[in-house]
Amino acid sequence: MKLQGPALRLTIFVGETDKWHHKPLFTEIVHRAHTAGLAGATVLRGIEGYGASNHVHTTRILSLSDDLPVVILIVDDETRIRDFLPTLDELIGEGLVIVEPVEVIRYVGRDRAAGR
């Protein structure tokens, strides 16, 4: 699939210790996105943050947290992203989901010998 031009970015904020059937929630979300045929997914682990609980979680040594924020980013065309949203309704008990328009410029197969 060629993904270039207008698309949607799905940004999902959950906690690192959030679980789905005894495994990390972010792992299940990525697995379901892959199964749904979405273009790709990336999981980023935050170093500090807070959410609905208003409790700050951080990696700083004096206040180590076991529930750091995790962000899952997925970009695909609007139909595929919107079709995936009911899956998140099933999986996420507490978190934040943002859907926003983006423009995709995809770089693939660059010839490194051509000066890069």
Asked if 65 and 57 touch (Cβ cutoff 8 Å), the reply is: yes
Q: What is the CATH number of the domain that holds 53?
A: 3.30.70.120
Residue 15 in domain:
yes
Residue 78 and residue 99: Cα distance in Å, rounded? 10
Give the three-class secondary structure for 28.
helix
Residue 22 inside a domain? The answer is yes
* CB neighbourhood size of 40 (10 A): 12
Full domain range(s) for residue 11: 5-105
User: Number of structural domains, the chain?
Assistant: 1
Which positions of the chain have pLDDT values less than 70?
A: 1-3, 51-66, 109-116
In this prediction, residue 20 carries a pLDDT of 96
Bridge partners (DSSP) of residue 99 are 10
Residue 62 placed within a domain: yes
Asked if residue 8 lies in contact with residue 76, where contact means CB atoms within 8 angstroms, the answer is yes
Give the CA dihedral 96, 42, 65, 25, nearest 10 degrees.
Answer: 60
**Residues 37-46: tens digit of each pLDDT:** 999 999 999 8
